[in-house]
Structure 1
Amino acid sequence: MNNIKKFFTIKDLENISGIKAHTIRIWEKRYNLLSPQRTDTNIRYYSPESLQKLLNVVLLNKNNFKISKIAQLSNDSIEINARELAFKIAVNDEAINSFKLAMFQFDKVLFNNTYNKLLHKKTFRELFKDVFIPFLNHIGLLWQTNTLLPAHEHFISNLISQKIQINTEKLEYSTSNTDITYVLFLPENEIHELGLLYLNYELVLRGYKTIYLGQSLPLNNLNYFFESDTDICFITSMTVMPYDDKVNDYFYEVEDILKDTNHKFIAIGKKAMDLKEIIFKSNIHVYPSLIDVLKYL
């Protein structure tokens, strides 16, 4: 865990909060809202507490609290007011900000309260597509720019995962389409499974039989399913694995496994799109995102 970030640059704060660095500097200078520390070369850096305070300030400011008034509040009052406000609002952008705040403050109560408010206005499908997908896309950007702490990503991912599994469990008593079975799994050393979990939910919702195998599965484990009389569609999601120079080899192995069968194979995600041009003899398809696969299905 030594690689976890304990301090943030002003660019990190801009990426996370959506507030321009120039504005953050003005708020510091004019209202003394943040007190950054400085390196020996006079570069600002901020603690996790400063980041949390900024997120609270932004939430209040976007909901008609003037910066001059926020600046007069104590840190505790800012946090209390922001939390109360986050409990009240739960529509798209506001909900995303609330989830972001819950993530950085490790606040399960705020997460669940925001989620439950959304369910009064949206179905779970609408909630996931309108709120969770944009939120997770933003989390991916923060991860790519090395802004997000792994602990924060794990915390929020586990909470969302629980909601997907709870909603899937409610559906798993009615399989109406038995023509094909979907087998879902992640490649070896791949752990990013939220998209795949949600796809499993969508398939179960549509009456399909699914077998969810989860994270880090060796390809040779799929051989077990070839004895089945039912058509199989294997689906995997590739966020960080396989490594860039192994992507083509992975698909060659899939091609070899699928030969002489009628089974399908679908790969989703950035790594799948890194595949160099191959003419497949087997029924293999790649898609950039979960949304694209749902259109195909």
Structure 2
Amino acid sequence: MNNIKQDFTIKDLENISGIKAHTIRIWEKRYNLLEPQRTETNIRYYSNQNLQKLLNVVLLSKNNFKISKIAKMSDEDIILQSREVAFATGIKDDAINALKLSMLQFNKTLFNETYNKLIEIKTFKEVFKEVLIPFLNHIGLLWQTDTLLPAHEHFISNLIAQKIHINTADLERKNKDFNKTYVLFLPENEIHELGLLYLNYELVLKGNKTIYLGQNLPLDNLNYFFENKSELTFVTSLTVQPYDDKIESYFNEIESILEKSKHQFIAIGKKTSLIKNNDYKFNISFFDTITDVLKVI
């Protein structure tokens, strides 16, 4: 099956496009922009083609095309005009729309085509910050509104992770001298790693050596590194783990380890707000976001 999610409610269209359902209904009724089908109980539902057309219409509308003018275009003209606008405006909005479709349709080819177009005119750092971060933020909103299945998030996250790995490996081949050494990991039962993966890329880009240990790592698995005489900086990201009632004891254990070494420890995520005001005497720093960390390293 090519398109696992083939039908969308008007609420789905609102969440994905950012256009209110009321406005979509007006466009539908007044201008015949969309052609929904109806269930046996008379509830509207929309096809992938409807969704793609709506995203193109929104792109044109945001770029000073009047809805009345768009409504007179053929479907082919809407696609062509959207491509021209995307090219003239730096393709950010068009790229994000294409990424949404690739995710909803589980379409790896569309994802790669979109990424390849972007990487021809931008650096990977620019692509990630200007396109992928806004896209990932939107995924978070879609997740909250039940527009996505867990499979959608896993599919697109894995594709983005592949691109980060490829670009990081390319930098590592070029790097010969290192500034500092960072050990990056996620706590036990923590699997949300895209942010940490990108931070790993940025650290390598800045000429550092990184040891990326990945997801779901119990603290005692770091003993080899904690016992290392060289000065290391440990970095972790807290999304769902440790649980709120365990986080203080987790960092108390980290502090007792740091007391015996010169290592530094960086913790990132909103969960750090629970303990960032604690009086830790050794080298533990807390940051809300990856962006905040990048300002100081």
Structure 1 length normalisation: TM-score? Answer: 0.82
Distance 1:204 1:14, change over 3 A: same
Match of 2:59 in 1: 62
User: What percentage of aligned pairs have identical amino acids?
Assistant: 60
Name the residue aligned to 1:270: 270
Partner of 2:257: 257
- 1:273-292 residue pairs with structure 2 within 5 A? 273-275=273-275, 277-292=277-292
- The change in CA–CA distance for 1:56 and 1:252 in structure 2 (over 3 A counts) is farther
| Aligned 8 A contact 2:276 2:286 in 1 | no
1:118 matched to 2:118? The reply is yes
Return closer, same or farther for 1:211/1:113 CA change in 2, 3 Å cut-off. same
1:241, CA displacement in angstroms? 2.0
Letter in 2 for 1:35: P
- Change in Cα spacing, 1:282 to 1:12, as seen in structure 2 (3 Å) is farther
Aligned to 2:50: 53
1:107 and 2:107 correspond: yes
CA drift of 1:28 comes to 3.9
Give the drift of 1:62.
Answer: 2.2
Q: Distance in 2 between matches of 1:216 and 1:260?
A: 25
For residues 125 and 227 of structure 2, what CA distance do their matches in structure 1 show? 34
Equivalence for 1:18: 18
Structure 1 pair 110–241 and aligned structure 2 pair: CA distance change class (3 A): same
Alignment match, 2:178 = 177
Could you tell me which residue of structure 2 aligns to residue 35 of structure 1?
36
CA-CA distance at 1:27 after TM superposition:
3.4
Quickly say closer, same or farther: Cα 1:8–1:33, change in 2 above 3 A. Answer: closer
Query: 1:167 — aligned with what?
Result: 167
Deviation digits for residues 110-138 of structure 1 (CA, Å, limit 9, x no counterpart): 21111111112211111111111111112
SS in 1 for 2:187: coil
CA RMSD for the aligned pairs?
3.1
CA drift of 1:170 comes to 0.8
CA contact (8 A) 2:16 2:142 kept: yes
Corresponding letter in the other structure for 1:210:
T
* 1:228 Cα deviation from its structure 2 partner: 1.7
- How many residues are paired up? 284
* TM-score for the superposition, normalised by structure 2: 0.82
Q: 1:9 to 1:286 in 2, by over 3 A?
A: farther
Contact 1:56/1:101 (8 A) holds in 2: no
Q: In terms of mean alpha carbon deviation, does 111-120 or 266-275 score higher?
A: 266-275
Q: Which moved more, 1:134-143 or 1:190-199?
A: 134-143
Q: Cα deviations across residues 33-62 of structure 1 (Å, max 9, x unaligned)? A: 25365798x8x5747x46x63243222452
Partner SS state of residue 120, structure 1: helix
Distance 1:10 1:53 in 2: 11
